[in-house]
C-alpha cells in the first residue's frame, strides 16, 4: 500500500481522469476527498451524483472517502475543500488539481466570459486549492502536488486559447511551487494526460485524419494515468519535483521545458535591418512550426 495512511484531495473527481485517480489513490491506501460540483463540460448545472458515484466505488472495496461539493474557482470554497480533509481525516498529504471545464471558440470569436470562466476553474482553481493546502504542507514538512496540464498548452491547439493558456499557466505555477516550497520537502509536478473522456469527446471526427486521431485517443483510457499519479503522490517520489510528464497509453514521456536553443550576437548591436538580414536567417532553422499535439505526437500509442 504505497499511500497507506496518506490523505489526498482530488478535484474534478466525479468522472474521467479525476475519478480514476481518486479510485487509484484509494486502492493504494489513501483516504480521499472527492471534490466535484457535478457541472457539465462547459461548467453549467450542478449535481452531487458524480461525486457520490466515485465515493461509492471507493467504499465498495473498503476504501475511505469523503465528498466536497465546493468550487475550486473561489478562494473561500477552496479553503473549505482543504478543511474537509482535516475535518474528515485529520491531515492532508496530497493534492491533485484536475478540475476543469471547456468553452472552446476560435480566438477572434471567443467571448471574454469564455476566457475568464476557463481560467477561473483551471488556473485560479489550481492556485486556490494549492495555496489553501500550502500552510499545512509547510508545517508538517512534506506534501505532494500533482497538477493536470495538457498538450493544448504545451504544444498548442486550434480554438482553445483559454484552455491552452490556463494549462500552460499551470505548468509555471507548478514550477514556482516546486521552487518556493522545496525547503519544506514539498513537491510539485505536472501530468499531461492523453485519454479519451469528457474533455476530449468533443474533438471533431469528420475527416479521415480526425477519425483516425479519435480512434487512437479511445485506446488511451483514463486509468492509464493512475500509476504515475500514485507514484508522484507517494514518498517514493521524494526526489522528483518541478517536472512535466505525459502519459500516452503505456508510454510515459518526460516533457521539455523552455531553454535557449540558439543565439546570435553583434559587437556593435542590432538594427531592425541587421535583424532582418542576419539575425532571423541565423535563428530561423530552429523556429517552431505551428504544430498541434497531433502533429507532434504522430505515432500510435504504445
Mean pLDDT, residues 16-27: 97
- Phi, psi angles (nearest 5°) of residue 7: -120, 130
pLDDT at residue 226 is higher than 90: yes
| Per-residue pLDDT tens over the stretch 90-136 | 999 999 999 999 999 999 999 999 999 999 999 999 999 999 999 99
- DSSP assigned state of 224: G
CATH number for the domain formed by residue range(s) 7-257: 3.40.50.720
212-242 exposure pattern, b = at least 16 Cβ within 10 A, e = fewer: ebeebbeebbbebbbebbbbbbbeebeeebb
Helices (runs of H) and strands (runs of E) counted in the chain: 12, 8
163 is annotated as an active-site residue: yes
| Per-residue pLDDT tens over the stretch 58-78 | 999 999 999 999 999 999 999
Q: Which is nearest to 202 in space by CA: 194, 214, 191?
A: 214
How many whole angstroms separate alpha carbon 214 and alpha carbon 276? 42
pLDDT at residue 206 is higher than 90: no
- Distant-in-sequence, close-in-space partners of 265: CB < 8 Å, separation ≥ 6: none
Q: What size, in residues, is the chain?
A: 302
Beta bridge partners of 17: none
Per-residue pLDDT band at 219 (split at 50, 70, 90): confident
Q: Name the catalytic one among 89, 115, 127, 163.
A: 163
* Cα angle value 51/53/57 (rounded, 5°): 120
User: Taking the domains of the chain in order of start, what are their residue ranges?
Assistant: 7-257
How many whole angstroms separate alpha carbon 262 and alpha carbon 108? 33
Mean pLDDT, residues 10-35: 97
pLDDT at 203: 63
| Per-residue pLDDT tens over the stretch 144-194 | 999 999 999 999 999 999 999 999 999 999 999 999 999 999 999 999 999
Most confident of 40-49, 111-120, 190-199: 111-120
Amino acid at each position: 500500500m504505497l499511500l497507506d495512511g496518506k490523505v489526498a484531495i482530488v478535484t474534478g473527481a466525479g468522472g474521467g481522469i479525476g475519478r480514476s485517480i481518486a479510485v487509484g489513490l484509494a486502492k493504494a491506501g489513501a483516504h480521499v476527498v472527492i471534490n466535484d460540483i457535478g457541472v457539465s463540460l462547459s461548467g453549467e448545472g450542478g449535481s452531487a451524483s458524480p461525486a457520490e458515484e466515485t465515493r461509492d466505488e471507493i467504499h465498495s472495496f473498503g476504501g475511505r472517502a469523503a465528498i466536497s461539493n465546493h468550487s475550486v474557482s473561489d478562494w473561500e470554497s477552496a479553503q473549505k475543500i482543504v478543511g474537509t480533509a482535516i475535518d474528515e481525516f485529520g491531515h492532508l498529504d496530497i493534492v491533485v488539481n484536475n478540475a476543469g471545464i471547456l468553452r472552446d471558440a476560435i480566438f477572434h470569436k471567443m467571448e471574454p466570459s469564455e476566457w475568464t470562466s476557463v481560467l477561473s476553474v483551471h488556473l485560479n482553481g489550481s492556485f486556490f486549492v494549492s495555496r489553501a493546502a500550502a500552510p499545512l504542507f509547510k508545517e508538517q514538512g512534506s506534501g505532494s502536488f500533482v497538477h493536470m496540464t495538457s498538450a493544448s498548452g504545451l504544444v498548442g491547439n486550434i480554438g482553445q486559447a483559454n484552455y491552452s493558456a490556463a494549462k500552460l499557466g499551470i505548468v509555471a505555477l507548478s514550477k514556482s511551487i516546486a521552487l518556493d516550497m522545496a525547503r519544506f520537502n514539498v513537491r510539485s509536478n505536472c501530468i499531461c494526460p492523453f485519454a479519451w473522456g469528457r474533455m476530449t469527446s468533443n474533438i471533431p471526427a469528420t475527416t479521415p485524419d480526425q477519425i483516425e486521431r479519435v480512434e487512437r485517443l479511445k485506446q488511451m483510457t483514463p486509468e492509464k494515468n493512475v500509476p504515475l499519479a500514485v507514484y508522484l503522490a507517494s514518498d517514493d517520489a521524494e526526489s522528483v519535483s518541478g517536472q512535466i510528464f505525459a502519459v500516452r497509453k503505456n508510454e510515459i514521456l518526460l516533457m521539455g521545458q523552455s531553454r535557449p536553443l540558439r543565439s546570435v550576437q553583434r559587437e556593435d548591436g542590432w538594427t531592425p535591418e541587421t535583424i532582418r538580414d542576419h539575425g532571423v536567417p541565423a535563428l530561423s532553422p530552429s523556429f517552431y512550426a505551428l504544430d498541434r499535439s497531433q502533429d507532434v505526437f504522430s505515432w500510435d500509442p504504445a
